[in-house]
Structure 1
């Protein structure tokens, strides 16, 4: 094709990307689906467990009932043993029921229909028979891992107060198993969650957290708190949130990836709602820690943070308080400083519409942080991502800010435009980009900056104006650029 045809084809990329609103709606829908899929993989109920606290001599001994190899037993045998007056038989019946429940889902209905729930719940109060107590709570935990109807049947038999009582058991493995049962109930929705709250489950759960609590036990506790936070309609009461926040903040500063992923989901759930809910989370001061975790070595932790942060940030960028806007823009700039796939998440989640609004009419301190978002994208983003940012209005917005009296902000904007021109030169988009800069009034503003009182700004403006004029008037050749595309004009005094 001719040079003119190639130029027109490149320029058309800026004009024929489709309706931005429709494209953004499609991307947001896809992003929401991906996030839901990832959440569903971390389902709120679990059955297969490994208890961290089975380190008691009893649990580790060769004759431990926990290590007993249970032979296949019929449902009739289980019913007979569970209903007997012999403790060893009752233990054997519970173990057989637990094994049956772990093998097939349909067995939950069989156990319930056999009328065994009342026996299992009664065994929970037998403090002088910890083995039977443990096996019973394990069986009931497996039943609550089923449907909401299964969970309701367990609750209807009075298991909730018994579970909460067992949270303070001196036998750590019993306490941990009770946490598992409570978490399964909490994962069944706000109605069951509120039953737990009414039975004082929160203080009992928080009392399990201590410097001596095993790490895996802490993970189970973090998972339980996350399940308590996730339900809405209605949301978790504010008084309960205040009870839980100190422990959630403590969990957020641990290094275990499993705990981190659960507590990040908890904060995601807590901040999903009106501004007053978001402000509660902001007041905890966790945003810097969340930004640190964006670089976590475990990708699942990073995905959780992205999902939580990106879901909240649009609301924060439009917040009425300037301090909240500023913090949100700062957080966004940190995310935009990551790899291009991270930048793509910002685009997919529709974050640039509120960002451009902020650049156009936000508080100046917020605008100053927002400018850094655009600059970081011109450093780490792909050309297609830069084109999207241009099309949605970010380039026009930062060009208007070239008139602000803050020399540092103006320098960042000039550096951003320079990065954009250099990226365009590498990909053959120079003509389209420079024409847009000119049409948006960029050249006129840059020309005026050549008379700025700040010497460094004058040099930067002249350098950029000459470069734009030069690269837009000659055929593309591989440029000799400096590292990261920075202007070689020194630092501002």
Structure 2
């Protein structure tokens, strides 16, 4: 199956700590992209034949045979014990009628809900014969049933799917996309989707067989039945997904049709088209730019305010990918009005959406001071701090820490003062109780940035003490920093030691630049986040 994604560091401003700079980060965690459509990689085509009278009863006590069943038989009523006979009919059948009966029954067995016999079918030797039947354009019903059976084999194990690929099924599925019969076109798209959904190797075979341009041609036809459009869009999304991704020049041809599909009236089509765009945008800035140039961004931003959670999820994935590009690309999102939509997403009941939103905010926070101004003006940081930085869900909390840290690394003094007014110090110090060196490093860098602001204000006479040092002392942060000096990670140790030696006299318990016990940051409170600053 598809593997996870690696991160891509993006240099920004240097810090005086042992770790250099903010990062615009690509998504780090996504082996989650397996089965959440969310993202369905394989579908079994079910047989919805209604049971009328149950299994056939042989007349006059005659035994049940392969001919005791027909197209009206429910899959569960077909005995698996007859599989060898069905296979013989396909391989040795003396007429199309006999071959068709064998194919139909094999297909029904593969459509049962529990334990379909994928391995038994692939080991029976029938696969090459079913594949060859897909060439029978003069017999579309036989062709369709063979394609359906093979589609359901492809929905099984990796071993079964790879046997199909080695048997030459992919070009046959592609050829079905141009069939005169809508059912065959639909089955061709479904089969391609299942093959490509198996993983990168099978996806690449499908691309090499020109599945993508044929799907695009099909989807550009406004007369296609809706079931064909649904399956073709889903298959397209599987062709552009996975790590390593297919080359941009190979998949960018899909963007014009995706630009149309995201405006489709059928929600399922829009969702799958949205996922396809998120996959194409996932990577270097060249991929991001291709998506921007296609004109889809305003519509994708609209997904964030949808009542459909899968649409919101695909939308925030794409928005996050764009925000991991350069400042100019990030500005496209801001110009499309994305920032005011983050507030509700940060409160979303789905953890994945909260995490992705914090990740996106962290990447925008690694941008220019003007972009940080826009973030602050959108009034989302009180929610980041009160809902995500204190979250019990570690992955959400980690992304919130990155959002705060990138402000300290890329922002200017008023930006940091604003976060202090939002009471960021206590929850940021609470993060020091985690045991992950990377996130401890990021949290310590953020604390160091705030301490530098407090020190600058003290030394310039704006305050009579380092207010940040006092806040850290009052919430128990100094004790936490002292404890993590015992960590074996060198970055964590050096940062903790630097903070303690520079800003705290740990022997007599008082911060350097003495202080009183109360804590103030001017007259501005977290309930008035923009007062006193001119952004």
Correspondence for 2:407: 394
Aligned to 2:85: 77
Deviation at 1:45, TM superposition (A): 1.6
- Larger relative helix fraction: 1
User: Which residue does 2:344 correspond to in 1?
Assistant: 338
Change (3 A) 1:380 1:116: same
2:194 aligns with 184
Normalised by the length of structure 2, the TM-score is 0.61
Q: Deviations over 1:402-459 (max 9, x none)?
A: 6xxxxxxxxxx79x94x985x66xx9xxxxxx999876649x9999xxxxxxxxxxxx
Q: Aligned in 2, Cα 1:106/1:383: closer, same or farther, shift over 3 Å?
A: closer
Classify the secondary structure of the residue corresponding to 2:380.
helix
- Counting only pairs closer than 5 Å after superposition, residues 302-317 of structure 1 correspond to structure 2 as 302-314=312-324, 316=325
Contact kept, 8 Å, 1:338 with 1:380, in 2: the verdict is: no
Q: 1:256 to 1:162 in 2, by over 3 A?
A: same
SS in structure 1 opposite 2:372? helix
Aligned length: 396
1:345 CA drift (Å)? 2.6
Counterpart residue number, 2:506: none
Q: Which residue does 2:375 correspond to in 1? A: 373
Is the Cα contact below 8 Å between 1:35 and 1:307 reproduced in 2? no
Mapping of residues 141-180 of structure 1, within 5 Å: 141-180=151-190
Question: How far apart, CA to CA, are the structure 1 residues paired with 2:191 and 2:138?
Answer: 21
Equivalent residue in structure 1 for 2:332, among 327, 346, 349: 327
Task: Please tell me whether the aligned partners of residues 148 and 188 of structure 1 are also in contact (alpha carbons under 8 angstroms).
Answer: yes
Looking at structure 1, the residues matched to 274 and 174 of structure 2 have their Cα atoms a distance apart, in angstroms, of: 25
Q: Which residue of 2 aligns with 1:230?
A: 241
Question: 2-side partners of 1:282 and 1:445: how far apart?
Answer: 48
C-alpha displacement of 1:115: 1.6
> 1:74-223 maps to which residues of 2 (within 5 A)?
74-82=82-90, 83-103=92-112, 104-105=114-115, 107-209=117-219, 210-223=221-234
> CA RMSD, aligned part only?
4.5
CA contact (8 A) 1:396 1:440 kept: no
Does residue 295 of structure 1 match 2:297? no
**Structure 1 residue 123: deviation in Å?**
1.9
| Secondary structure in 2 matching 1:168 | coil
Deviations 1:153-175 (A, max 9, x none): 22333322322222111110111
Deviation string, structure 1 residues 52-84 (Cα, Å, up to 9, x no partner):
xxxxxxxxxxxxx75455652411321233231
- SS of the equivalent of 2:45 reads coil
Give the alignment partner of residue 278 of structure 2, picking from 262, 268, 271: 268
Q: Relative to structure 1, is the Cα distance of residues 215 and 37 closer, same or farther in structure 2, using a 3 angstrom cutoff?
A: same
Name the residue aligned to 1:48: 45
Structure 1 partner of 2:10: none
- Contact 1:100–1:107 (Cα < 8 Å) also in 2: yes
Q: For 2:409 and 2:290, locate their aligned partners in 1 and report how far apart those are by CA, in whole Å.
A: 35
Mapped contact 1:290–1:305 kept (Cα < 8 A): yes
CA shift, 1:293, in A, is 0.5
Give the Cα separation in 1 of the matches to 2:158 and 2:168.
Answer: 16
Contact 2:304–2:316, Cα closer than 8 Å, also in 1: yes
Q: Does 1:32 align with 2:43?
A: no
CA distance in 2 between counterparts of 1:213 and 1:286 reads 23
Q: Which has the higher contact order (CA 8 A, sep 6+)?
A: 1
Contact in 2 for aligned 1:310/1:349 (Cα 8 Å): yes
**For each residue in 1:183-206, what CA deviation from the matched residue of structure 2 results, as whole angstroms up to 9, or x when unmatched?**
111123333333333333223222
Q: Note the residue ranges of structure 2 that are not aligned, 5 or more in a row.
A: 1-16, 49-69, 391-399, 427-449, 464-519
Contact kept, 8 Å, 1:105 with 1:146, in 2: the verdict is no
Residues 268 and 308 in structure 1, CA contact (< 8 A), matched pair in contact too = yes
Shift in Å at residue 239 of structure 1? 3.4
Q: 3-state DSSP class of the match of 1:39? A: coil
Cα distance in 1 between the residues matched to 2:461 and 2:331: 26
Taking a change above 3 Å as real, the CA distance of residues 336 and 201 of structure 1, as seen in their structure-2 partners, is: closer
